[in-house]
C-alpha cells in the first residue's frame, strides 16, 4: 500500500515564496463575485430600510466586502446621504458603516 502524503511531501522542495503564492491562489478561489441588483430590487431594499428606520426595527443586511458577502443584524441608526453610507448598530452596540452600493439584501429581522 502506497502512503501518499499529498502536498506535504512537495512543500519541503519548494521555496517559501512559492508556498505563499500557492496559499494565496487557493484563497482566491473562495472569492465571490458581486451581484448587480435591478431597479425593482433596489426599490424593495429602499422600502425595507425606510420601514426599519421609521419603526426602529431590526434588519439583517448582507453586503459585499473584501471579495465576500457578510451579514450584519442590527438597527438602522442613520442614513448618510452625502457619504452614501448606512450606519447600523448591532446588539453589542458596535457601529457598522455599510456603503449603499455594497448592499445585496435587506430583510426585517425578529427582535432579540
Per-residue pLDDT of 18-27, as tens digits, reads 888 888 888 8
For residue 67, the model assigns a pLDDT of 84
Residue 65 lies in a domain: yes
The enclosing domain of 81 has a CATH number of 2.30.30.520
Q: d(Cα 55, Cα 3) in Å, to the nearest integer?
A: 63
Residue 93 lies in a domain: yes
Q: What is the mean pLDDT of each run of 10 residues along the chain (112 residues)?
A: 60 78 82 84 92 93 91 92 92 93 91 66
- Range of the structural domain that residue 74 is part of: 39-108
Residue 69 lies in a domain: yes
| Residue whose entry in the numeric block shows the C-alpha cell 431594499 | 45
Question: What pTM, to 2 d.p., does this model score?
Answer: 0.70
Look at residues 84, 17, 19, 11 and name the one whose alpha carbon lies nearest to residue 46.
84
Residue 5 lies in a domain: no
Residue 33 lies in a domain: no
Coil, helix or strand at residue 86 = strand
Q: Do 83 and 66 form a contact (C-beta atoms < 8 A)?
A: no
Residue 4 lies in a domain: no
For residue 58, the model assigns a pLDDT of 94
For residue 4, the model assigns a pLDDT of 58
Residue 25 lies in a domain: no
Amino acid at each position: 500500500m502506497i502512503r501518499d502524503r499529498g502536498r506535504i511531501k512537495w512543500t519541503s522542495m519548494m521555496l517559501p515564496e512559492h508556498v505563499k503564492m500557492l496559499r494565496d491562489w487557493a484563497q482566491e478561489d473562495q472569492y465571490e463575485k458581486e451581484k448587480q441588483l435591478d431597479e425593482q430590487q433596489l426599490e424593495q431594499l429602499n422600502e425595507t430600510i425606510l420601514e426599519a428606520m421609521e419603526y426602529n426595527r431590526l434588519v439583517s443586511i448582507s453586503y459585499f466586502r473584501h471579495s465576500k458577502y457578510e451579514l450584519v443584524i442590527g438597527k438602522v441608526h442613520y442614513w448618510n446621504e452625502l457619504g452614501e453610507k448606512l450606519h447600523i448598530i448591532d446588539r453589542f452596540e458596535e457601529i457598522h458603516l455599510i456603503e449603499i452600493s455594497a448592499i445585496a439584501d435587506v430583510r426585517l429581522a425578529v427582535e432579540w
